[in-house]
Structure 1
C-alpha cells in the first residue's frame, strides 16, 4: 500500500475505483498501528526545509518535530488524497505548501530541500530511478532522504508470494508494487545508506509486511 497514488497514464482518466476507492483504502491501510509506530520513529528526524514526497492523506503531520522544521512542502499526484492533507494541515494548524505533482518531474529548483521524506510512496511511482534522480537534484548539498517503505521481502517464501500476488495487487492498490527492493534501489543509484533497518510488521501477512527504513545521502 502507498501514501502516494500514481498518476493515470497519458490520455487517460482515473476510473471510479482509482478516484474514490483507492484513496480511502490507502488512508486506512497506511494508518494501522504498526505502521504508525514506524512513522513515529522516522518522521521526527526531518529538519530544515522539508519535502514530503507522497504527502497525500496528511498522516505524517502529527509526527513532525516542529521545532526542527523551517518550512514544509508536500507533493502528491492524487487530488483526492491532497484534500485529506489540506484538511489535516488545517486541523493541526500546520502552515504547509501543498502541490499536485509527480516524483518523476518535481516542480522545484535544484538545491531546494534539506530533507526529503518518503513513506510508503516509492512502491507506487512509475519510474523509481527517475524519482531518485529528482531527489538528488532538489536536495541541498549535505541534504538527506528519510524513507519508510514496504518492499521485497528478504526471505524466499514471502518473496515468492509477492511475485505471484503483485500483478493483481497493483490493480487493487493504486499501482503499488510489492516486490521492489527499496534499499537496493537507493544504493544502485549512488546513495549511501545510514541507520538502515527492516522488519516484518506484526499481525500482517509476511508478503505484505516487510518494512524498510533508513536515511539515504547522495554520494
Structure 2
C-alpha cells in the first residue's frame, strides 16, 4: 500500500505543496545565485530548473532516489543553454568524486533525508575548495507555541508527506554538518500553515 501511495498519490501532493507561489518565491531567493558546475540534492520534480541562470551555470546535476520524481524532473522546463543530468542517488551517498562541484543547491530537502549529517558531509566532500552551499529549507519554528504543534503533528505528517520532518532546526543542522553559514534570512512563508511554514535560507561554506 505504501508503495502505491508513493507512486500515485505522493507525487501529486508534493507538486501541489512544493510548487505553491510561496514556496516558489522562496526557491527564487537562492537558486539564481548558483554558478559553475552545480549539484542539486533531492532534485525531485525539477521545480528549481527554470530558476537557474544560464549565463552563470555551466551544468546542473540532480540526484533523487524516487524514479517517479526523476521522470518528472527530466521533462521540467529549464533554460535551453543548461546541461542537465538527473541521476538516481541519495544525498547521504553521492555517486561523485571529491571536489567535483562549484556549488551545491539544497531546497526543501534536509527535512526529508534520512540522515542530515551524512548528507551535509557528502555535500562538503563534493564541493571544490571555495565552493558554496546554497539552501532554502523549512524546519523548527522559533515560536514555542508553533514548535509544540510541530512536535505533536510530526509523526502523522511524516507518514503522509514522504518522510518530511517539521522539527529539524535548519541553521543548527547545517552548522553541525560542518558548514559555516555566511548569511541567512528567515520568515514564515505567506500562505503556508505555520507548522510547516518556518523557512530559513542562505549560503554556507565548508569549515
TM-score clears 0.5: yes
For residue 173 of structure 1, what is the aligned residue in structure 2? 161
Q: What SS does the corresponding residue of 2:151 show, helix, strand or coil?
A: helix
1:195 aligned onto 2:154:
no
How many equivalent pairs are there?
206
* Cα deviation, residue 41, structure 1: 1.6
Contact 2:44–2:64 (CA<8 Å) still a contact in 1? Answer: yes
* Cα deviation, residue 92, structure 1: 5.3
For residue 63 of structure 2, what is the aligned residue in structure 1? 75
Q: 1:1-219 maps to which residues of 2 (within 5 A)?
A: 15-89=3-77, 93=80, 94-219=82-207
Consecutive aligned runs of 4 or more in structure 1 exceeding 6 Å deviation:
none
For residue 3 of structure 1, what is the aligned residue in structure 2? none
Q: Deviations over 1:125-166 (max 9, x none)?
A: 000111111111111010010000110001101100000000
* Cα deviation, residue 180, structure 1: 0.5
Structure 2 portions without partners, runs of 5+: none
CA–CA distance in structure 2, aligned partners of residues 49 and 95 of structure 1: 10
Q: Deviations over 1:81-104 (max 9, x none)?
A: 111111115x75343111011011
Structure 1 portions without partners, runs of 5+: 1-12
Structure-2-length-normalised TM-score: 0.96
Q: What SS does the corresponding residue of 1:109 show, helix, strand or coil?
A: coil
Structure-1-length-normalised TM-score: 0.90
What is the CA RMSD across the aligned residues, in angstroms? 1.4
Q: What SS does the corresponding residue of 1:137 show, helix, strand or coil?
A: helix
CA–CA distance in structure 1, aligned partners of residues 17 and 177 of structure 2: 29
* Cα deviation, residue 203, structure 1: 2.0
Q: What SS does the corresponding residue of 1:96 show, helix, strand or coil?
A: strand
CA–CA distance in structure 1, aligned partners of residues 21 and 194 of structure 2: 16
CA–CA distance in structure 2, aligned partners of residues 62 and 85 of structure 1: 11
